[in-house]
Amino acid sequence: MPHIIRTASALRDIDGIWDYIAIKNHNPDAADRLVDKIDETLRLLVSQPLMSESVEHLRPHTRRCIVHNHYLLFYDTLGDDIRLLRVLHAARVIRPEDLRE
């Protein structure tokens, strides 16, 4: 059965996004819903890892998927598993160094 592997950077990204929405915007329910949506999307991606856009120009063998119109999930595959590298805001300019392990 395929697994979802979350890098330390991805976990920090998700924690930071949750903190921003829950604490700075005073909306923990919205923060929880977004994290749930990220998890739901990851479950879909692990079953269909090639369904999203390739971003070879940023990092070899890497793909990205948009969640909630504002966040990008960057991941690659390890056999049948997917490895979530980063979760970044879509308004950011993403550079190759942002996706290093």
Residue type, 46: V
pLDDT digits (tens, 9 = 90+) for 56-98: 999 999 999 999 999 999 999 999 999 999 999 999 999 999 9
Degrees (nearest 5) of the Cα angle 97, 100, 101? 160
- For residue 43, the tally of other CB atoms under 10 A from its CB is 11
Confidence at residue 100, expressed as pLDDT on a 0 to 100 scale: 86
CA angle 99, 58, 85 (to 5 degrees): 30
The whole-number average pLDDT for the span 38-60 is: 97
- The sign of the CA dihedral 54, 52, 63, 91 is positive
CATH number of 4-99: 3.30.2310.20
- pTM for this model (two decimals): 0.95
Determine the Cα angle at 95 with ends 94 and 99, to 5°: 90
